[in-house]
Chains A and B, each alone.
Chain A
Amino acid sequence: QKEVEQDPGPLSVPEGAIVSLNCTYSNSAFQYFMWYRQYSRKGPELLMYTYSSGNKEDGRFTAQVDKSSKYISLFIRDSQPSDSATYLCAMSRSGGYQKVTFGTGTKLQVIP
């Protein structure tokens, strides 16, 4: 069993839809949770960064962490064609200097 499971998609939605992306994990030691967006042939770009359980909102993006269920989510409101990319969840036991474990990524396509 992988430490982090993420549905690879692809996920195709119409412009303006609400998108829900999810990851589950098995290691209860994870405390820091990230979502990265990766465009083709580019490095991952940090979208959201949360510590422990709870919600965090930034513009059209909301990240949720439920440590009791070992489940994290990223919601994208009013999705735009420019949101079309691969979204990677990532997590670590502690912050920046520690090893990060990534999900396999979900490919999202937002259709105009």
Chain B
Amino acid sequence: GAVVSQHPSRVICKSGTSVKIECRSLDFQATTMFWYRQFPKQSLMLMATSNEGSKATYEQGVEKDKFLINHASLTLSTLTVTSAHPEDSSFYICSASALDGQPQHFGDGTRLSIL
């Protein structure tokens, strides 16, 4: 149980393109999902907390207009990287918890490369 699916797994696109990443909870409903960014050989950095039906909560230093988050249903959250540039290239990972008090389960991540 508690499977989180992320799509796509790999994106390569030109600078200036907007890229949408989907995160789905497959066998449970997730009121809250989390979006992380991971640089090579570094740990996960929380970008934002995605709340179903309301605005996301962004961590300090994360541009909300750059990283748009939509959590329109209890099983889907999307992260859109708008007007992506090479410095946005990274590994983006989402997570969700089936119940409060239960640990977060992670998707397999999306490797984004901006040329």
Contacts and interface: CB of A to CB of B under 8 A. Distances in A.
Interface residues of B, number: 28
A105 B106 contact: no
A104 B43 contact: yes
Contacts of B46: 99-100
Nearest to B91: A41
B111 A49 contact: no
A96 to B, nearest CB: 3
Nearest to B46: A99
Interface in A7-27: 8
B49 A95 contact: no
Interface of A: 8, 32, 34, 36, 41-46, 49, 88, 94-97, 99-100, 102-105
Contacts of A34: 103
A41 B110 CA distance: 9
Interface of A is mostly: loop
A4 B59 CA distance: 18
A32 B103 contact: yes
A44 B106 contact: yes
Contact of A94 (B41, B42, B101): B101
Q: Which 6 pairs of residues, A with B, have the shortest CB-CB distance?
A: A96-B97, A95-B101, A43-B106, A49-B103, A96-B102, A104-B43
B97 A95 contact: yes
B106 A45 contact: yes
A96 B103 contact: yes
29 contacts: A8-B41, A34-B103, A36-B106, A41-B91, A41-B109, A41-B111, A42-B108, A43-B95, A43-B106, A43-B107, A43-B108, A43-B109, A44-B44, A49-B102, A49-B103, A88-B43, A88-B44, A94-B101, A95-B97, A95-B99, A96-B97, A96-B99, A96-B100, A96-B101, A97-B31, A97-B32, A99-B49, A100-B34, A102-B44
